[in-house]
Amino acid sequence: MLTIFEIRRSPAARERAIRALKARYAEGRLTTHQLERRVERVLRSGDALDYQPVYGLRALVVGRVRRFQRALLRMHALGYTVANASLLGIWALTGEGVFWPALFLVPSTVVLGGHAFASRKLTRTMSRLRLSA
């Protein structure tokens, strides 16, 4: 199976790549310097695709997903800590009878652990994907 680096690049494909770069520049995702450098690379490539992918989408997507997952996990851990500390405080203030906060503590610990595991799995999977072409 051919990889993207073995495919021959047609003039129409180069034009599509340049239009895509200009669209990303208009969205503010590229600086003027990056746009100029990448358009030069596309135009100098000739018929063969002898340049690296111009969009840099893989690093962008993976970085954003990792940051988003970390933020979600931090918020989840903070909510877990506040809720369980509150329940433990109420339990301690009401006479420390039967340990009823465990009814919330155990399931919420399982959910937080599952979230951490799924977050790690997702970011590893995203880093293996080929999103740059």
Span 79-132, pLDDT tens digits: 999 999 999 999 999 988 899 999 999 999 999 999 999 988 887 887 776 544
**Whether residue 46 has pLDDT greater than 50:** yes
Sorting pLDDT into bands at 50, 70 and 90, what band is 28?
Answer: confident
DSSP conformation letters of 63-90: HHHHHHHHHHHHHHHHHHHHHHHHHHHH
Torsion of Cα atoms, 102 then 103 then 106 then 108, to 10°? -120
CA-angle at 72, arms to 66 and 77, nearest 5°: 125
